[in-house]
Every structure is written in structure tokens, then in C-alpha cells.
């Protein structure tokens, strides 16, 4: 484990935007470590669950023996940030998932997988995120989920209008943070800085 000034944040490295998240976190003041094994998970202060394919990441966490250790550390209060597929993995409930798909849980939310449509429906927009100063965040949605339902302990930090309704796309509950979009691909590291600050406060 690390000191408060430079926490060690792991990035789950079985699939997805691992390199981009590590670069963003390091720019935001953290040290990083790719996490593929339980012994690596045990050494970090916090974890990022990157975007990718949620069903593939789910299967690979089980293959690598990470599922039980991940669930245990999340339950014990380890700070975790999930982007896109990571939001699905953190959700307690999932809609439109594969029949055998499992989540790690922790966030009292119901997410809809691929809510915005297929890859060709991917798009970008500017989004005001509570807790992120300096103007709107450029949000890149790629086969993204959204939150269909959030429990009373969940704070909605940003929503967008989609299909005639307001859909939460950034949520926080305790030490857990999730975004529907991919801030790691834009060069704007303010969402990662928000998470690094959450890690410091949790420590």
C-alpha cells in the first residue's frame, strides 16, 4: 500500500483500455499497476475497471481467479472506478446481459447493457459532471450502458437526455464511482483526478 500523496491504483488488465487509464491516473497523481492476479490486487489501494466487453471481462476474471478477491475487496470498501463495461461490472443488477453474465456488484444500480445502441451509434457530447470543476467534460459513448434505476444511497453526478428520458451516466456511492463513457480517451483527466482524490480521502 502507499502513502496519501501518491496512492497505488490498479487497473484490471484482462481486457480493455488499460494503457489509457494508467496514463490518465498517473497524470492525475497516482502510481499504477496492471492487475491480472489476486496477489497483485492485494497490493493496491484502489482499482479501475476499464471499458471493454463486459461479458468477456466477467469470464476472464473468473478464469484468472479474480472474481472472489474482487468481490471481497469491494465489499471491504476498496475504492473502485468503472468506465463503460466497468459500470456494468460494478452494478448490482443488469438488463440485456447474457444469460450467464455475472457482475461484481457494489453499486445499488440497475444498468442496461448497450443502452445507446451498437458500435455505429457511438457518439460524443459535452457533459457537466458534479464534482468536476473547469467546465464540461467531453464524454465519449461507445456501446455504452446507462443507469435505469439507482438506489437511495446512489448520487447521480451527471445525466443525459436519451429516448425522451433523463438517463444517469455518472454515479457515485461511497467509495465507488462509475461512468457510462470513456474519459481515458479524450486527454481530459479530470474524472480520473476526482477518483484519485476519492482514494486519498478513503485512505
- How confident is the model over 104-135, as pLDDT tens digits? 999 999 999 877 766 545 688 999 999 999 99
Give the mean model confidence (pLDDT) for residues 156-160.
96
- How confident is the model over 27-36, as pLDDT tens digits? 999 999 999 9
Give the mean model confidence (pLDDT) for residues 46-63.
92
- Residue 115: per-residue pLDDT: 77
Phi and psi dihedrals of 85, rounded to 5? -60, -30
Give the mean model confidence (pLDDT) for residues 2-21.
89
CB 52 within 8 A of CB 68: no
CA distances from 129 to 98, 124, 160, 178 (A): 30, 15, 11, 12
Give the mean model confidence (pLDDT) for residues 177-184.
95
Which active-site residues does the annotation give?
84, 182, 184
Give the mean model confidence (pLDDT) for residues 164-184.
95
In this structure, CATH architecture of domain 8-202? 3-Layer(aba) Sandwich (3.40)
**What whole-number distance in Å separates Cα of residue 179 and Cα of residue 177?**
7
Closest CA to 145 of 175, 107, 186, 196: 107
- Residue 79: per-residue pLDDT: 98
Give the mean model confidence (pLDDT) for residues 70-98.
94
Locate cell 456488484: which residue?
105
Portion of the chain with pLDDT greater than 70, in percent? 95
**80 or 203: which leads in pLDDT:** 80
Portion of the chain with pLDDT greater than 90, in percent? 78
- For residue 144 the three cell numbers come to 455504452
CB 182 within 8 A of CB 17: yes
Per DSSP (E only), the strands in 163-201 are 165-173, 176-179
Give the mean model confidence (pLDDT) for residues 25-46.
97
Closest CA to 129 of 200, 78, 183, 176: 183
Band of pLDDT at residue 153, cut at 50, 70 and 90:
very high
- For the chain, the structural domain boundaries read 8-202
Q: Which residues are within 8 A (CB) of 141 and not within 5 positions of it... i.e. 6 or more apart?
A: 116, 122, 123, 124, 125, 169, 180, 181, 182
- Residue 1: per-residue pLDDT: 47
Amino acid at each position: 500500500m502507499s502513502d496519501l500523496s501518491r496512492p497505488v491504483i490498479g487497473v484490471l488488465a484482462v481486457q480493455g483500455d488499460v494503457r489509457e487509464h494508467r496514463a490518465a491516473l498517473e497524470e492525475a497523481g497516482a502510481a499504477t499497476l496492471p492487475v491480472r492476479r489476486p496477489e497483485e490486487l492485494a497490493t493496491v489501494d484502489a482499482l479501475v475497471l476499464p471499458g471493454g466487453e463486459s461479458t468477456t471481462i466477467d469470464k476472464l476474471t473468473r478464469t484468472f481467479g479474480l472474481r472472489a478477491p474482487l468481490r471481497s475487496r469491494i465489499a471491504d470498501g476498496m475504492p473502485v472506478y468503472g468506465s463503460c463495461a466497468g459500470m456494468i461490472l460494478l452494478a448490482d443488477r443488469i438488463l440485456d446481459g447474457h444469460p450467464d453474465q455475472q457482475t461484481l456488484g457494489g453499486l445499488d444500480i440497475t444498468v442496461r447493457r448497450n443502452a445507446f445502441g451498437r458500435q455505429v451509434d457511438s457518439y460524443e457530447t459535452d457533459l457537466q459532471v458534479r464534482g468536476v470543476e473547469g467546465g464540461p467534460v467531453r464524454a465519449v459513448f461507445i456501446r455504452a450502458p446507462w443507469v435505469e434505476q439507482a438506489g437511495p444511497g446512489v448520487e447521480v453526478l451527471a445525466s443525459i437526455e436519451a429516448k425522451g428520458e433523463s438517463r444517469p451516466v455518472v454515479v457515485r456511492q461511497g467509495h465507488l464511482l462509475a461512468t457510462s463513457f470513456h474519459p481515458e480517451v479524450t486527454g481530459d483527466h479530470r474524472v480520473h483526478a476526482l477518483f484519485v482524490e476519492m482514494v486519498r480521502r478513503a485512505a
